[in-house]
Amino acid sequence: MTFWKKEGTQKILSSLISILFGLFVGAIVVFIVGLCNERISLKGAWEGIRLIFIGILSTGRNASGSLTWGFNSANIGNMLFRATPLIMTGLSVALAFKTGLFNIGAPGQYLMGTLGTLFIALSIPSGSMPGWLIWILAFLGGVLGGMLWGAIPGLVKAFLNINEVLACIMTNWIAANLVTWAFDESNLKNMVEGTKSGYIYKTTYGLVDGTYVDGAGIATTKLGLNKIFPGSQINAGILIAILLAIAVYILISKTTLGYELKACGANRHAARYAGIHDKRNIVLSMALAGGLAAAGASLYFLSGNTEFFWSTYQSLPSTGFNGIPVALLALNNPIGVIFAAIFMAMLDIVGLQLTNLTAYNEYITDVIIAVIVYLSAFSLAIRMLIAGKAKKKALSKSDGPAPAAPAEPAPAVDLAPAADAAANTEKGGDEV
Amino acid sequence: MTFLIQQTLIYAVPLMIVALAGVFSERSGIINLALEGIMIFGAFMGVLFVNLAQTAGWFVEAKAAGNWMALQGFELLAMLVAALMGAIFSLLLSFASVNLRADQTIGGTALNLLAPALVLFFIRLIANQNTLQMAKGDAASWFMIKKTTLGFEKNADLGFLGNTLLHKVYLATYVCILIFIVLSIILYKTRFGLRLRSCGENPQAADSLGINVHKMRYAGVSISGALAGMGGFVYSLTTANCTSNGDVAGFGFLALAVMIFGNWRPLNIAGASLLFGLFKCVAAAYSSLDINGDGVKMLAKIGISSHVYRMLPYIITLLVLAFTSKGSRAPKAEGIPYDKGMR
């Protein structure tokens, strides 16, 4: 098998094509809007297009008003910092996909993780125990909150046959209200800095004699990363996220549990026939996914320089939803998730650059992400095109047990038990 | 009581029409998870149309002359635009899932991501803020039907029914109910409806009888897109004062839940959406709600946190689904790309 015909190569290529196509669509939108809008003109459109592709290397404008380029340590450090929670939510969605579940509940799990982490980090009086212990407790508390929240859709899916997509959506909104309620009743609202309203204390605030004092709390260690990327928010969280991604990779590909989870994803009924507890695995998979998404929130809010806007009952955190494109782009590969998340974080920074430097705004990067997700829905077809196979062949093959494409978790499309059974029996037939 | 009924209808009608949108798509065999996105897109297009038409001065004279018939026509026109654009937007879903045989759940998710991104991108460019409003006046003064618009005296008593159904209402609400009834009949009593439903149950059998499955699925998704787009605009007109901000507060997803709760049947869906409309209405207005008209605001007095009321629709959905999911029967072939060669 030559290099170009390897499955791994084709998978990566199909993702790269999706990315390039998404960026081009973004550039085209920017170009057309620039032509139609006299405020922007062709020069502004050209600036916008350049920023979309290499905005991460932008260093602002010089005295004569043209864009300057170069290594921007603050941008790259911030990119890695923003990638941290995205890696975790991406892992969450990818792990659930492996079990044939579509975890659209990552925003809710992320919120529950925020709740657990902030309550523990801010409620323990500083000095009563070492800071690193508080950090670990807060992290674990957040993860536990997310696991419990993720287990709910898993439970109703396994035992009541409620579609997990719907259950996740409902638990998302319940979580949004629950979190708002809990913080509303709490005394963790930032009262010290008078100019800010609606925010919870940063974790650098610590409880000293009943009042919150800045600097007495905890924050993730920087491990010298801030020396490499001066001016950015980066900390050791990114390393923890990468380690967790490797751990998930080992769990999925090297352990019995991972094999059982994957077997449930491929064909739940066949897995049960082979003696695998399919219901237990569904609940476990959702709980683990919830824990991972919540860990993202813990890492983000324990960094010490992030604040949580607590009145969130009308909106869900986009970090949670962005786990879906990350997982799809990475084709559910935990190692791939690291790179996909860094790419998404880069788009985030690019969006900020667009808002700050041009008349465009950051939502164009969301358009790019949406286009990439749209393409990944038929990445199998793209892969077939790369492989240079005839269309007819591609159609007949996509019914078989095509390995690990995002199109593969077909069980995710069952909106009801009847369809579920039908889909699976027919798939099972093909696999024999 | 009048207030309660009117508010419930305002929430229930968009839910009902969007849930029916889901039915048309799923009965043809395509899961439409993109209802939320299409609603957002339709709402934006409708509001944009109103805004542009006002800027161009189309109905300004009619408004100045108090010609309310023309203004109602304006409202219907905006609904039509929203429906049309919703149908066009939904072509993205049908193209991916019918022609390219893509995963329908992911395709729908992509549309759900795309709609708010596109909408907010353009709103920011057009309005320089995150909300697009009407260019002149507000929804109440332009589109709302009141006693006085119908020629009654300001303090005339129209009786309970008159007060409820003719005062401070939107024509859109009744048009949606009418469309709902007509489309339900089409789905069950016409040749087209039967063919559409057969494609969601057994497309192979339908194909063997000469029905073009791809065409029927395109039709199903397009009708679905039109209804969802219109529902989105009606939602923004009646609850958000005809503004668009790239958000419909999860109504599209709630409509999906209503559809499943209603077991993919129009009559059950109408009942389910009324129930959810009631809960939404209570959540939005519990503090000023006077149920039996004796001036005592009962719900506010109980002293339950407003957060509980806001959570209630979602908790109830989950509970209701827990009890009804065993008996629910989805279209058999939904979510499975049609393949002629399959057994």
The mean per-residue pLDDT over the stretch B16-36 comes to 93
Contact of B298 with chain A, judged by CB distance below 8 Å, is answered with: no
From A299, A332, A365, the end of a domain falls on: A332
Contact of B319 with chain A, judged by CB distance below 8 Å, is answered with: no
Q: Which amino acid is at B256?
A: L
Q: Are A95 and A337 in contact (CB under 8 A)?
A: no
Shared domain check, A103 and A232:
yes
Q: Which of A167, A315, A418 sits opposite B329 (nearest CB)?
A: A418
Q: Do A417 and B325 touch (CB under 8 A)?
A: yes
Is pLDDT above 80 for A111?
yes
Is pLDDT above 50 for B272?
yes
Contact of A367 with chain B, judged by CB distance below 8 Å, is answered with: yes
d(CA A216, CA A131): 9
Is pLDDT above 60 for A421?
no
User: Which of A413, A424, A426 to substitute to test the interface with B, most B CBs within 10 Å?
Assistant: A413
Grade residue A388 by pLDDT with cuts at 50, 70 and 90.
low
pLDDT tens-digit readout, A277-294 = 989 999 999 999 999 999
Shared domain check, A277 and A190:
yes
Shared domain check, A414 and A328:
no
Query: A 332-361 residues with CB below 8 A of B?
Result: 359-361
Integer angstrom CA distances of residue A216 from A117, A128, A189, A299, B43: 17, 12, 17, 19, 49
Contact of B109 with chain A, judged by CB distance below 8 Å, is answered with: yes
Tell me the H-state helices in chain B.
Answer: 2-27, 35-55, 60-65, 68-94, 104-127, 139-143, 159-166, 171-189, 191-201, 203-208, 213-239, 251-261, 266-285, 298-302, 306-324
The mean per-residue pLDDT over the stretch A85-96 comes to 96
Q: Which of B249, B322, B341 sits opposite A314 (nearest CB)?
A: B249
Shared domain check, A292 and A391:
no
Q: Are B333 and B203 in contact (CB under 8 A)?
A: yes
Contact of A387 with chain B, judged by CB distance below 8 Å, is answered with: no
Does residue A237 belong to any structural domain of this protein? Answer: yes
By residue range, what is the domain housing residue A390?
382-431
The mean per-residue pLDDT over the stretch A331-339 comes to 92
d(CA A371, CA A361): 17
pLDDT at A430: 35
Does residue A17 belong to any structural domain of this protein? Answer: no
Q: What are the DSSP calls for B122-135, one per residue? A: HHHHHHSSS-B--S
Q: Which of A370, A377, A422 sits opposite B117 (nearest CB)?
A: A370
- Nearest in space to A87 (alpha carbons), one of A343, A375, A258, A366: A343
Grade residue B290 by pLDDT with cuts at 50, 70 and 90.
low
Shared domain check, A295 and A419:
no
Query: What is the least distance, in Å, from the CA of B324 to any CA of chain A?
Result: 9
The mean per-residue pLDDT over the stretch B66-87 comes to 91
Shared domain check, A389 and A283:
no
Query: A 85-114 residues with CB below 8 A of B?
Result: 102, 104
d(CA B253, CA B335): 17
3-class DSSP state of A211:
strand
Is pLDDT above 50 for B331?
yes
The mean per-residue pLDDT over the stretch A190-217 comes to 79
Is pLDDT above 80 for A174?
yes
Is pLDDT above 90 for A162?
no
Find chain A residues with C-beta within 8 A of B341's C-beta. 396
Does residue A121 belong to any structural domain of this protein? Answer: yes
d(CA B110, CA A367): 10
pLDDT at A96: 94
Integer angstrom CA distances of residue A250 from A88, A271, A333, B339: 15, 21, 11, 37
**Residue A176 corresponds to which tokens in the numbers above?**
């949004």
Shared domain check, A315 and A401:
no
Does residue A236 belong to any structural domain of this protein? Answer: yes
CA atoms within 13 A of residue A63's CA, in its CB half-sphere: 0
Is pLDDT above 90 for A113?
yes
The mean per-residue pLDDT over the stretch A111-136 comes to 91
d(CA B225, CA B90): 5
**Residue B73 corresponds to which tokens in the numbers above?**
């026509």
Mean pLDDT of chain A: 83
- Nearest in space to B251 (alpha carbons), one of B36, B13, B9: B36
Q: Do A166 and B314 touch (CB under 8 A)?
A: no
pLDDT tens-digit readout, B237-258 = 998 888 888 888 788 888 988 8
For B167, phi and psi rounded to 5 degrees?
-110, 130
Compare A242 and A41 and report the one with higher pLDDT. Answer: A242
Query: The dihedral of CA B230, B231, B232, B235: what is its sign?
Result: positive
Within 8 A by CB and 6+ apart from A42, the residues are: A34, A35
Q: Which of A33, A165, A422 sits opposite B125 (nearest CB)?
A: A33
Shared domain check, A228 and A169:
yes
Is pLDDT above 50 for A418?
no
pLDDT at A11: 80
Does residue A82 belong to any structural domain of this protein? Answer: yes
Shared domain check, A260 and A403:
no
Shared domain check, A393 and A328:
no
Q: Are A382 and A71 in contact (CB under 8 A)?
A: no
Q: Residue-wise over A75-107: b if at least 16 C-beta within 10 A, else e?
A: bbbbbbbbbbbbbbbbbbbbbbbbbbbbbbbbb
Q: Do A418 and B336 touch (CB under 8 A)?
A: no
Query: Taking chain A, what is the end-to-end CA distance rounded to the nearest angstrom?
Result: 26
Does residue A43 belong to any structural domain of this protein? Answer: no
pLDDT at A341: 95
From A332, A361, A394, the end of a domain falls on: A332
pLDDT at A411: 40
Q: pTM to 2 decimals?
A: 0.85
Grade residue B293 by pLDDT with cuts at 50, 70 and 90.
low
Grade residue A4 by pLDDT with cuts at 50, 70 and 90.
low
3-class DSSP state of A60:
strand
d(CA B115, CA B125): 15
The mean per-residue pLDDT over the stretch A67-89 comes to 90
CB atoms within 10 A of CB A389: 12
Within 8 A by CB and 6+ apart from B306, the residues are: B283, B286, B287
Grade residue A407 by pLDDT with cuts at 50, 70 and 90.
very low
Which domain CATH number covers A251? Answer: 1.10.3470
Q: Are A167 and B318 in contact (CB under 8 A)?
A: yes
User: Which of A363, A369, A391 to substitute to test the interface with B, most B CBs within 10 Å?
Assistant: A363
**Residue B221 corresponds to which tokens in the numbers above?**
């998704």
Is pLDDT above 80 for A256?
yes
Does residue A359 belong to any structural domain of this protein? Answer: no
Contact of B326 with chain A, judged by CB distance below 8 Å, is answered with: yes
The mean per-residue pLDDT over the stretch B176-198 comes to 95
Is pLDDT above 60 for B287?
yes
Find chain B residues with C-beta within 8 A of A397's C-beta. none
CB atoms within 10 A of CB A110: 36
Number of domains in chain A: 2
- A428: left (phi > 0), else alpha (psi -120 to 50), else beta? alpha
Please give the share of chain B, as a percent, with pLDDT higher than 70: 94
Contact of B99 with chain A, judged by CB distance below 8 Å, is answered with: no
Grade residue A331 by pLDDT with cuts at 50, 70 and 90.
confident
Compare B101 and A393 and report the one with higher pLDDT. Answer: B101
Is pLDDT above 80 for A153?
yes
C-alpha A403, offset from chain centre: 23
- B88-92: long-range contacts, CB 8 A cutoff, minimum separation 24: B88/B225, B89/B37, B89/B38, B89/B41, B89/B42, B89/B115, B89/B225, B89/B229, B90/B32, B90/B34, B90/B38, B90/B221, B90/B222, B90/B224, B90/B225, B90/B226, B90/B228, B90/B229, B91/B221, B91/B222, B91/B225, B92/A374
User: Which of B31, B38, B113 to substitute to test the interface with A, most A CBs within 10 Å?
Assistant: B113
Which stretch, A310-314, B87-91, B274-278, has highest mean pLDDT?
Answer: B87-91
Contact of A7 with chain B, judged by CB distance below 8 Å, is answered with: no
Find chain B residues with C-beta within 8 A of A171's C-beta. 314, 318
Q: Do A378 and B100 touch (CB under 8 A)?
A: yes
Shared domain check, A250 and A150:
yes
Contact of B102 with chain A, judged by CB distance below 8 Å, is answered with: yes
Q: Which of A37, A161, A184 sits opposite B325 (nearest CB)?
A: A161
ipTM of the complex: 0.85
pLDDT at A311: 82
Grade residue A223 by pLDDT with cuts at 50, 70 and 90.
confident
Shared domain check, A405 and A297:
no
